[in-house]
Amino acid sequence: IIKACIFDLDGVIVDTAVYHYKAWKRLANELGFDFSEEANEKLKGVSRVRSLELILQWGGIAKTKAEQEELATKKNAWYVDMISHMTPAEILPGAKEFVEACREAGLKIALGSASKNSGMILEKVGITNLFDAVIDGNKVSKAKPDPEVFLKGAEALNVPPAECVVFEDAIAGIEAAINGGMKSVGIGSPDVLGKADLVISGLNEMSLEKLNTL
Ligand code: B16
Ligand code: MG
């Protein structure tokens, strides 16, 4: 029986991938190259540091650790500038309604995100108070598919992993849920997220009835 839901942020609750893409693209362009929106898919759910490593690889550019830190800070400043203008209208269809329905049913709710900017995003779209616990990139040291972020979420909610379900749009996130001994719902395509217990195209397709079949 499910007692808690743990939600990824980017791609599940909001679509911040487009802002990440704009900021990384601007950085790449300054360095003299470009990358496609298709390549950007590979950055979803991936940490800031690792994202930069991948992008520099695509551009065939080598940078020292110190330079990388500077570049990541620059990208983040542009990104934060964009997300500081986010509004509640940017919550993905059905996301707020489903989280509210879970709360009304007495389920515990946590965020499990790789982002270090999750606090600001939740604040801007006005849903901070829907979460009993927020575990994000500031609180974890191991990236998905390591289950750390979700296990910390379960612990904060005081619910055993087997009674938690994770909602994720990235395959590494579904693997993290499985590695943590949790149920998982994939948000996106079954071709990519086939390992999940259930795959839907968005939280507007989710219901408490479906949750109870997991
Ligand atoms: P930040 P999620 C992830 O969010 C994004 O999908 C990924 O593209 C980003 O690099 C990562 O957060 C870190 O974000 O630079 O804000 O710390 O899907 O785990 O909610
Ligand atoms: Mg995501």
Q: Whole-angstrom Cα distance, residue 187 to residue 68?
A: 32
Question: What value does the mean pLDDT take over residues 167-187?
Answer: 96
Q: Which ligand is nearest to the CA of 135?
A: 1
Question: What value does the mean pLDDT take over residues 108-120?
Answer: 97
Q: Which ligand is nearest to the CA of 44?
A: 1
Determine the pLDDT at residue 25.
97
Determine the residue of 22, 115, 134 to mutate for testing ligand 1's pocket, defined as the one with the most ligand atoms within 8 A of the Cβ atom.
115
**Chain segment 48-98, per-residue pLDDT in tens:** 999 999 999 999 999 999 999 999 999 999 999 999 999 999 999 999 999
| C-alpha distances in Å from residue 78, one per residue of 24, 84, 85, 120 | 9, 10, 12, 14
**Which residue in this structure is represented by tokens 């040291």?**
141
Q: What is the ipTM of this complex?
A: 0.94
Determine the pLDDT at residue 135.
98
Determine the pLDDT at residue 44.
87
Determine the pLDDT at residue 22.
96
- Active site annotation includes 81: no
In the set 8, 34, 146, 197, the catalytic residue is 8
Determine the pLDDT at residue 45.
86
Determine the pLDDT at residue 153.
98
Determine the pLDDT at residue 94.
98
Question: What value does the mean pLDDT take over residues 132-144?
Answer: 96
Ligand 1 atom with least separation from CA of 76: 15
CA angle 106, 3, 98 (to 5 degrees): 60
Determine the pLDDT at residue 12.
97
Determine the pLDDT at residue 41.
84
Q: Is the peptide bond before 145 cis (omega within 30 degrees of 0)?
A: yes
Q: How far is the CA of 177 from the centre of ligand 2 (A)?
A: 13
Question: What value does the mean pLDDT take over residues 127-135?
Answer: 98
Q: Is the pLDDT of residue 105 over 90?
A: yes
- 37 pLDDT band, cuts 50/70/90, is confident
Question: What value does the mean pLDDT take over residues 22-37?
Answer: 96
CA angle 163, 167, 171 (to 5 degrees): 115
